[in-house]
Chains A and B, each alone.
Chain A
Amino acid sequence: MLSAANSMKNFFLSLKTTVWLLLTLVCLFFIGSYMMPVHREVFGPMNENLLFNWAVEVGLQNAWASWWFFAVLAALMLLTVNAVVCSVHAITGRWPRTDFLIRISPQVIHIGFLFILLGHLLGAGWGYKLSGMMREDSYARLPGDRVLYLRKIDVQSDESGYTKNWTAEASIYEHNTLAKSGQLGPNKPLFYRGAGIYLKSLNFESGPAAFLLVARDPGAAWALAGGILFSLGSVMVLVLKWKKA
């Protein structure tokens, strides 16, 4: 029993495991990039819903096309264990205090990477994504006893008729009280209590209307924190290794 645990520990402590897992992931993503355009009916809805829902409702039903996706999840799980075991070992082992930065900076990268994965996991399983067309001066019900009011749509064009910008005035009511008002536009969502309202496109076929997305991603903050840590650790490694190379 002990020897099995030890060999498991050695397996996850090995850099060779990291290398083979990364190589496996490269191959799986390569297969995925081929499968996605070939099986559009399977992968088309992947970005429209929560990833967990897609995996259960579509992915598992079409495992012959989506097997690579589940293999990616398995490989990422192993890579997570690998990163945690290696980082814990590197930090808890004996090492001279003068080597603090060189020892700690790769672990900062690992933590950043793990935070990004955690962000994806939270975003894939929790939160929500709702989308639909809303006419100007209309209301839509949102989760949490909230109502979205689309007040006004505005399009700005240049002399040649090219659309320079578009905006929409929107308000959120919570428990029948105005909670937040603001302007939506490209790269300009309206955030309220962790949920973002995004103006995706406009339609004028039967009066001004906007295609809106309301998304709540509880993993976004984790992913951002992970990105910052990853960058910080990478710059530290760069500075330290550049000199030592």
Chain B
Amino acid sequence: MDFLLFILYPLAFIRPKWIIPALLVHIASIVAAAEHYGRVPLIGLHDTLGFLAFSIGTVYLAAAWRRTREQFTYITLPLILVLLAASAASPVSAGPLPPVLKTAWFELHVILSFVSYALFAIGAVFGVLSLYEKEGTEEINQYRSLLLGYVLFSTAMIFGGIWAYLAWGTYWLWTPKELWTAIVWLFYSLYLHARLVRGWSGPKVVWMGIIGFVIVMFTYAGVGLLMKSSHEF
């Protein structure tokens, strides 16, 4: 099924809406994996990179609905394909869910986190486009994408806190992963406030929206690989 995705996603290079077949096949593969393992397939790099690619594809479809084929597609689709390739190259986490992950809070926390990551990714793409346009339309698109991403990310953090309180008796743990999560949240809070300040708004803020996604990717992949935390399962 992974192989089929590598054929279907590039169809969007022809016309943005042609990403729909890829998304339908992708969601079918996620459901099939859930059936096969008897759990939501959101554990380990293979599952989560694939889900991130799917989330970016979904946000792309919504954002590109009225767009023609142009730079927005040329930047976003390669990103989706790179994430898919990384997912395919990562080992599959087979087996049932560890008992601590058998809760709706886990699913809500992870799904909302990855959808917000996807919005941050699309916000970064709009940021890159904004650097080359004068009208300011892409800057507004970036703002909308990042604002929605921020709201979902904040909600994901709150759900994660509730889950942690039920699982470990605390809604916050002092570990590097949690610190990086706070960095992401503070950084986008900074973006949203800086956009209102003269001297910061404009290209500086647009760049912040781009750098934010680099921080997100490091928080997601880098911290897990380099540092110990409660987010290892």
Contacts and interface: CB of A to CB of B under 8 A. Distances in A.
A187 B103 contact: yes
Contacts of B147: 237-238, 241-242, 245
11 contacts: A19-B200, A29-B182, A30-B179, A46-B174, A129-B169, A166-B99, A187-B105, A213-B169, A217-B169, A234-B154, A235-B151
Interface string A157-168: 010001111100
Interface in A218-245: 220, 223-224, 227-228, 230-231, 234-235, 237-238, 241-242, 245
Given A26-B186, A158-B96, A32 B171 contact: no
B102 interface: yes
Interface residues of B, number: 49
Contacts of A194: none
A164 B99 contact: yes
A122 to B, nearest CB: 12
B223 interface: yes
Contacts of A94: none
A200 B166 CA distance: 11
Interface residues of A, number: 53
B168 interface: yes
Interface of A: 15-16, 18-19, 22-23, 25-26, 29-30, 32-33, 36-37, 43, 46-47, 51, 119-120, 123, 129, 158, 162-166, 185-189, 196, 198, 200, 213, 215, 217, 220, 223-224, 227-228, 230-231, 234-235, 237-238, 241-242, 245
Given A22-B193, A47-B174, A187 B223 contact: no
The dominant DSSP class at the B interface is helix
Residue from A213, A223, A234, A238 whose CB has the most chain B CB atoms within 10 Å: A234
Nearest to A230: B154
